[in-house]
Chains A and B, each alone.
Chain A
Amino acid sequence: MTYLRRHALGAAALAVIAGGALVPGRADAEELTLCWAAWDPANALVELSKDFTAQTGIGMKFEFVPWPNFADRMLNELNSGGKLCDLMIGDSQWIGGGAENGHYVKLNDFFEKAGISMDDFAPATVYAYSTWPKGEPNYYALPAMGDANGWFYRKDWFSRPELQAEFKAKHGRDLAPPKTWTELKEVAEFFQGREIDGKTVYGVSIFTERGSEGITMGATSALYPFGFKYEKTPGKYDMEGAVNSPEAVAGLEFYKELYKCCTPPGYTDSYMQESLDAFKSGQVAMAMNWFAFFPGLYKDPVVGGDKIGFFVNPGQLVEASTLGGQGISVVSYSSKQDKALEYIKWFAQPDVQKKWWSLGGYSCHLAVLNDPSFPDSQPFASDFLLAMDNVMDFWQEPAYAELLLAMQKRLHDYVVADVGTAKEALDALIRDWTEVFEDEGKL
């Protein structure tokens, strides 16, 4: 009896263990995990992916991390060869490291087999989100979420007749979305400290964040139009005369002036969320932020709809915008690469891309962007097209994090903490970057 009971119990335990191992195993086989940042477009993707599950029976799990922790969390995951993510929508700067460190699967053969052509996607997005080395036909991601830094403003304030008249008297032109950085500063100064509806308001909310990438993404929005370049000759790492050119110095000085003259008090460490907060709480007349947030802002019941307007990053010497956005990659450590590729094949379809745009994601597919109805499909759609024509991105080198943190430090020291001059800051930046590239064996 004892013998029987012992063996019966053993058999039952074995069955439970086996069942436990099999059931999740079956579920795992039919479920993909997609990793991305936690923001509005990610919610749109959850909605969109329901169609994929309906068509293929493959479930989708999502691992979304808030932006401030996104790079830390996900790069840790990739560097440790983690199997959490089957698909990764990683930042554009990660593409070099993703390719060289073997985190991402090279997609050329798959694209060919699946009939996916990179010619069907906007060239700037293919270059920025997919290729490594830059511009070479080696693809490690499918352009998934086009994005750039843009602007929004209080249309209702701009349209007030008394403000219009006052501005015209002062500057001889209409109070309208600025076309150059000089105009932007004039408008910002006009609103700074003004009382509107019994409340003191400020000119502009710009990025000044120190910890991750904020001030770099903000300041480069001014630097690029002023003529800043990373290299004199692409691929040569000859930064002297490009990074610290007189135009770049002027751009950085301008950004600091804008920060000093026209931002709300205490905006010394502000990025995406702080910019949104400043605008939504009615503190600022204009704010910079990524296009990804624009659909949500337009729907905002307090400041959206008729009260909000959008404009592309102003030009100065040239037209340029700071690139955001990401491509979708298959993680090389995933045990479900076939299914992950299936998701990418599905996602690349023009119909899916059209739905992606309609849900609030920014498609990079030419079938969407070249559609005649696209510019009028949203109040910010035409500005998005303009921005994506002139985007510039930070270094996408495998050592991008070192390069980025050096720039964060030098810019914050100069712009916010008043250390040295713009020329000194950019000279120091060249020294930092030179050291990194020497370590990398590229100099």
Chain B
Amino acid sequence: MAETTSALDRIAARAARATPVPVARRLRGLSDRGIAWLFITPTILLLLAINIFPLIWTIWLSFTNYRANRPTLETEFIGLQNYQRVLSNPDVWHTLQVTARFLCWTMAIQTVLGFALAWLINRQFRGHGFWTTVILLPMMLSPAVVGNFWTFLYQPQIGLFNYVVSFFTGIPPSSFQMIGDVNLAPWAIVIVDTWMWTPYIMLICLAGLRSIPDYLYEAAEVDRASPWRQFWSITVPMVLPFLMLAVLFRAIENFKMFDLVVELTSGGPGSVTELASINLKREAFEKWRTGYSSAFAIILFVTVFGAANIYVKALNAVKNR
């Protein structure tokens, strides 16, 4: 009995040694909660300084006539006037339409292509690793570099793109301008964005495809389900949450697309490729209408935030199905 007790004591002592002493016990006067706050506070302060404060400040500025380039101008509270001006400005609606069209086309094409590429790559053919890397390369480049690079490719006199089109269609290379033509310029941007970001969708779809357990397909085989039925009943539903997540990320990114389009067209010709983000930059940092552009930024923020929330709800519904 005594031996048993001493064995138990030894185990208890060992357990006590193994259990870490709460840090608070070593730092007198501080509870664990206090220490947790000690560690979290710098991060919270940083977040407040670089995220929350600018947001609140922007909201405040959106109700004023403030201009960053006019220190001598007295700042006045003008209520909702900036919001009213933004929402009644046809140019703003035009840029929102351009942005919406750009989003719709890029998302539709990239989703189909990204999924198709992932499906092909997932078939484990010879050299698929090499091709995966090649496909992923555009995504790794800077948008500014890609924009510059494609500007040369689209050059009607010396650009490779026109020669490739000419080779396949017989249309003379210098007879059309991808980024100088009002009808072709939006497509020129869609092509570049698709070239650059389809691999991203592909990568996430590939993760989804590889997460599908083999036994589902084996069970389907036993049930004599056709490959087409397997695709629609297993592959698509299982990959859909991944795909929707990829579309969400890409849509948010493309809503604020700036650098690529600036490099390619600067919003032109005319204003046919002027996205909301480019217009916002012009208002804020070229025209210096700080209050007005703050209101515009808040409207864009609320739009994206609202749309993303609705989308996330749909995504959760798909996941929980």
Answer whether A and B are interacting partners: yes
Query: Which A residues are within 8 Å of any B CB, using their own CB?
Result: 72, 75-76, 79, 81, 97, 100-102, 209-211, 264-269, 398, 401-402, 405, 409, 412-414, 416-419, 439
Q: Is the CB of B179 within 8 A of A268?
A: yes
Could you show 21 A-B contacts with beta carbons less than 8 Å apart?
A81-B71, A101-B70, A102-B72, A264-B157, A265-B180, A266-B179, A266-B180, A268-B179, A269-B179, A401-B69, A401-B286, A402-B288, A402-B289, A405-B287, A414-B270, A416-B268, A416-B269, A417-B269, A417-B272, A418-B182, A419-B270
B69 near A269 with CB under 8 A, answer: no
| B268 engages A417 (CB within 8 Å) | yes
Q: Tell me, yes or no, whether B266 is within 8 Å of chain A by CB.
A: yes
Q: Is the CB of A413 within 8 A of B270?
A: yes
Say whether A412 contacts B270, CB under 8 Å. yes
Q: A268-B269, A419-B270 are in contact. Are A97 and B69 (CB under 8 A)?
A: yes
Q: How far is the CA of A266 from the CA of B270 in the complex (A)?
A: 14
Kindly report which residue of chain A lies nearest to residue B264, judged by CB atoms.
A269
Which listed residue, B157, B265, B287, B288, touches A269 by the CB 8 Å rule? B265
Instruction: List the count of A-B residue pairs having beta carbons below 8 Å apart.
Output: 85
- Assess whether B287 is in contact with A402, with CB atoms less than 8 Å apart: yes
- Kindly list 20 other residue pairs between chains A and B, CB separation below 8 angstroms, not including A72-B285, A72-B286, A265-B157: A75-B69, A79-B288, A101-B70, A102-B72, A210-B268, A264-B157, A265-B156, A265-B177, A266-B157, A268-B177, A268-B179, A269-B268, A401-B287, A402-B287, A405-B287, A416-B268, A416-B269, A417-B268, A417-B271, A418-B270
Q: Which residues of A contact B71 (CB under 8 A)?
A: 79, 81, 101-102
Instruction: Tell me whether chain B's interface is mostly helix, strand or loop, or mixed.
Output: loop
B235 interface contact, C-beta 8 A: no
Q: What chain B residues lie within 8 Å of A268 (beta carbons)?
A: 177, 179-180, 268-269
A265 touches B174 (CB 8 A): yes
Q: Check: B68 CB closer than 8 A to any chain A CB.
A: yes
> Are the CB atoms of A417 and B270 closer together than 8 Å?
yes
Q: How far is the CA of A101 from the CA of B72 in the complex (A)?
A: 6
Give the contacting residue for B269; candidates A97, A210, A401; CB below 8 A.
A210
Name the distance in Å between A133's Cβ and chain B's nearest Cβ.
Answer: 15
Per the bound structure, the CA–CA distance linking A417 and B265 in Å amounts to 12
Q: In the complex, what residue of chain A is closest to B173 when comparing beta carbons?
A: A265
Q: Chain A: which residue is nearest B279 at the CB level?
A: A409
Q: Is B147 an interface residue (CB 8 A)?
A: no
Query: With an 8 A cutoff between CB atoms, is B155 at the interface?
Result: yes
Give chain B residues whose Cβ lies under 8 Å from the Cβ of A402.
Answer: 287-289
Most chain-A CB neighbours within 10 Å: which of B69, B265, B285?
Answer: B69
B10 close to A (CB within 8 Å): no
* Residues A412 and B157 in contact, CB atoms below 8 Å apart: no
For B268, the closest partner residue in chain A by CB is A210
- Compute how far the CA of A209 lies from the CA of B266 in the bound complex, rounded to whole angstroms: 9
Knowing A402-B287, A405-B282, A416-B268 are in contact, say whether A79-B69 is a contact too (CB < 8 A): yes
How far does the Cβ of A68 sit from chain B's closest Cβ, in whole Å?
A: 10
The minimal Cβ–Cβ distance linking A174 to chain B, given in whole angstroms, is 31
The answer for the CA separation of A418 and B183 in the assembled complex, in Å, is: 11
Cβ proximity bits B241-284 to A, threshold 8 Å, 1 near / 0 not: 00000000000000000000010011111111000000000100
Least distance between B147 CB and chain A CB atoms (Å): 13
> Are A269 and B266 in contact (CB-based, < 8 A)?
yes
**Given A79-B69, A101-B72, A268-B179, is A401 in contact with B288 using a C-beta cutoff of 8 Å?**
yes
| A101 → chain B closest CB, angstroms | 6
Contact B267 A210 (CB under 8 A): yes
Which B residues lie within 8 Å of A418 (CB)? 182, 270
Q: Which residues of A contact B68 (CB under 8 A)?
A: 79
Shortest C-beta distance, B106 to chain A (Å), equals 22
- The residue on B at minimum CB distance from A268 is B180
Query: Chain B contacts of A76 at CB under 8 A?
Result: 285
A413 and B90 CA atoms in complex are apart in Å by 14
Query: Which residues in A have their C-beta under 8 angstroms from that of B289?
Result: 402
Most buried by A among B155, B179, B180, B272: B180
Specify which of A264, A405, A409 lies most central, judged by the most chain B CB atoms within 10 Å of its CB: A409
Most chain B CB atoms below 10 A, which of A97, A266, A414: A266
Residue of A nearest to B85 (CB): A435
Contacts A101-B69, A265-B156; A412 near B286 (Cβ below 8 A) = no
Cα distance, A292 to B69, chains bound together (Å): 29
Quick one: which of B279-306 are within 8 Å of A by CB? 282, 285-289
Complex interface: chain B residues within 8 A of A414 (CB): 270
Per the bound structure, the CA–CA distance linking A350 and B100 in Å amounts to 60
Nearest Cβ distance between residue B81 and chain A, in whole angstroms? 11
Q: Mark B47-75, 1 if CB is under 8 A from A, else 0.
A: 00000000000000000010011111000
Establish whether residues A409 and B157, one from each chain, have CB atoms under 8 Å apart when the complex forms: no
> Which one, A79, A210, A398, contacts B266 given CB within 8 A?
A210
Q: Closest residue to B262 on the A side, CB-wise?
A: A211
- Residue in chain B with minimal CB distance to A413: B270
> What is the minimal beta-carbon distance from A115 to any residue of chain B, in angstroms?
32
Chain B residues contacting A101 (CB-CB under 8 Å) are 69-72
| Residue of A with least CB distance to B175 | A265
The chain B residue sitting closest to A414, CB to CB, is B270
Residue of A nearest to B179 (CB): A268
Smallest distance from the beta carbon of A93 to chain B beta carbons, Å?
Answer: 13
Contacts of B266 in A (CB 8 A): 209-211, 269
Top-7 shortest CB links A-B:
A417-B270, A268-B180, A413-B270, A266-B156, A210-B268, A211-B266, A265-B156
**Smallest beta-carbon distance B226→chain A, Å:** 51
CB distance from A82 to the nearest CB of B (A): 13
Query: How far apart sit A358 and B68, CA to CA, in the bound complex (Å)?
Result: 41
> Which residues on B sit within 8 Å (CB–CB) of A416?
180, 268-270
Q: How far is the CB of B189 from chain A (nearest CB, A)?
A: 14
Q: Which residue of A lies closest to B265 (CB)?
A: A269
- Report B156 CB to chain A, min CB distance, Å: 4
Chain A contacts of B262 at CB under 8 A? 211
**Residues of chain B with a CB closer than 8 A to A412's CB:** 268-271
Distance of A401 Cα from B285 Cα, bound (Å) = 10
Is B177 touching A266 in the complex (CB atoms < 8 A)?
yes
User: Nearest Cβ distance between residue A410 and chain B, in whole angstroms?
Assistant: 9
Q: Which residues of B contact A209 (CB under 8 A)?
A: 266
**B213 CB to nearest A CB, Å:** 53
Q: List chain A residues, Cβ under 8 A from B156.
A: 265-266
* Cβ of A414 to closest chain B Cβ, rounded Å: 8
Give the chain B neighbours of A267 by CB distance below 8 A: 180
Q: Please, how many angstroms separate the alpha-carbon atoms of A211 and B263 in the complex?
A: 11
